Structure 1
């Protein structure tokens, strides 16, 4: 780990919508049967039959990750089209969701359906999960401590779920609010060690709050079956470019955290109540509002936190020649808004969620990158030409 950059892999979830009606359709079993001969284990089902999940293998470079994301999306789009279905990369569904949702008859999920009951009735959310290679479980847990203060700004950057139950929720990331209803979810606690993490997990299982380690839905957790730390805080982005950039941005955060863990720094013990409040504020306002500065506990513009994030990871991004592209995408988001703003903009122009679905489906399939940005520069922009 000391002489090479950690690998990074992505899992991203998509809704399935009928091409004609634009409503979500319970087509996952049919789409999976078509696409699995092409992608194998790189595509799986979810609890709900409205969704499928695409995965990349571990990647070293931004270019490799971008290529793998496009390959997975292309195969899913092609398989779905044969059934008159389109994949949609949005944190929440827009049209046609019924309650309770149609659930998969899957051996993994059946015990959880019995345990969590009506929580699954409306659990229709699509996220971006980033796996970053770490030396061992101890490092994974301690890295999580260092990531906690940055989680709210990641919520804001990736916010892509403003609509819920066919109306504007008033939030940029309604998904963030929706997933925190579970007994073990949202920002992780502060842990002194992997043993501390395991002891709490054992207590939660004994109390009946989780069913195995995979029911620990914290937004940062050591992966139970891979040598990675998994970051689950972000809505799924609509474009491949944003998904790839968010993933390498998270990897850079992990690399910086690993450096501090190796120096014996256990991470800042940010108060959990303040962290949850920062989550809520960033989920509501996205990039256009304010967030809590974890150093001062004061409200600051969220764009200020984006700039501070870029400054923090700049050395890692520059070393691996990713600073230019990451800066370009972040500058575009700060200047023009992200996924939630795009969805609202289309809705404001057309006045119909049908048009929002069409725009999302086209961007999901075409994997279009953001256009050139104009406006104020983020710190470090002046150096990007050299990277």
Structure 2
């Protein structure tokens, strides 16, 4: 996120015209602000394969976005970051503007930007790593994990300035991450073939050290001891190499949720942010009354995320409360029941429930990608679909 996230009630950013409403704006200062990081792939308009030209695209996009746009690990990836927002409608406008600027910059450089969790086509491995010293250090430390890391995510930051509270909030969020994996699954294809998974990106992330569901922590000291112990093994390049699904930001007063594939549309990213913020507000209420959160085993959480990555919303999922295998869409009902009071308090209930209805009706990103592919068994059609939807697409 950009340094402006230090201003936890920052401005919404410039308007880019009328967009579908995503949520009403609560009174300033009454709710935690939220921000989103998105990662895009750059592809050749002819071959539809990934093309390593991020530096030029970032330079062009930065004329309008400044430090809200930056290179990523791969030379064919671009990252863009919103300013912190209170209202989901403001967040949606920022996401739309970000995507419009990045896609226009890509087109000016002779490529296309697409929003997906994995490289659909192209010889993405070994990946051409960006020249920044930190990325080169990652390559030296993690080796083949880096050279195969041609995947894109969407991260949500929610402002929780008290680190102890934020950490305990994460305990409450842990069981619900698999539902978000299923809902935002958008990486069925990888380098020219169907993986059989709704979120292949999830499986690739799980190979990294200090990734996946975080441990259950009793307090901040417990968290710090864990990182010190893991760091002593050499598995952490630095504190930013903690890649858990839920982590304390090292730079901002936020709790960061890193579980989702990069969504096809800005509408889905805004919906994700609304769900995450409601989960955080629900958890904060529990923490304030002295509830440290359910100590669900990490093994069960990993299994739940694996099942969600395999099936998305089209098969079965693990109910976060009971631990039972249920129809995947039933886990959405459990999620909505869990966060409903927070959504009502935030004023986001109508928008989030409508967003969930539209997403279920349209299908996850993985389902939409596969539906496009099924028409002519063409992966180039899938890339064209993603390129068309990335800047201004909606769940229609």
**Shift of residue 324 of structure 1?**
1.6
CA distance in 1, matches of 2:48, 2:320: 41
The answer to whether the aligner puts 1:146 opposite 2:172 as a matched pair is yes
1:80 and 1:86 in contact (8 A); partners too = yes
Query: Is 2:209 aligned against 1:183?
Result: yes
Match of 1:360 in 2: 386
- How far has the Cα of 1:3 moved from its partner? 6.4
TM-score, normalisation: structure 2: 0.91
Q: Which residue of 2 aligns with 1:324?
A: 350
Counterpart among 35, 59, 79 of residue 9 in structure 1: 35
- Partner Cα separation in structure 2 for residue 361 and residue 187 of structure 1: 31
2:288 to 249, 252, 262: 262
- Aligned-partner Cα distance in 1 for 2:106–2:187: 22
Matches within 5 A, 1:105-120: 105-120=131-146
Distance 2:191 2:48 in 1: 14
Cα distance in 1, alignment partners of residues 204 and 374 from structure 2: 24
Query: For 1:147-172, what per-residue CA distance to the aligned partner results, in whole angstroms no more than 9, with x for missing partners?
Result: 00100000000000000121110000
Cα distance between partner residues in 2 of 1:298 and 1:55: 37
Aligned partners of 1:274 and 1:292 also within 8 Å: no
User: 1:138 touches 1:193 (CA, 8 Å); kept in 2?
Assistant: yes
Counterpart among 14, 38, 49 of residue 75 in structure 2: 49
**For residues 268-283 of structure 1, what are the structure 2 equivalents within 5 Å?**
268-283=294-309
Extract structure 1 runs of 4+ deviating beyond 3 A.
none
1:1-387 mapped onto 2 (5 Å cutoff): 4-365=30-391, 367-371=392-396
SS in 2 for 1:288: coil
- Give the Cα–Cα distance (whole angstroms) in 2 for the partners of residues 294 and 66 of structure 1: 28
**1:4 match: secondary structure:** coil
Which structure 1 segments of 5+ residues have no match? Answer: 372-387
The TM-score with structure 1 as length reference comes to 0.93
Task: Provide the residue aligned with 1:385 in structure 2.
Answer: none
1:216-266 residue CA offsets vs partner (Å, 9 max, x unmatched): 100100000100000000001111111101111100000000111111111
- Where do 5+ consecutive residues of structure 2 fail to align? 1-7, 9-27
Alpha-carbon distance in structure 1 between the residues aligned to 2:296 and 2:152:
27
Number of the residue aligned with 1:374:
none
Give 1:338 shift.
Answer: 0.8
Per-residue CA shift, 1:86-127, capped at 9, x if unaligned?
A: 111000011113321111110222222111111111101111
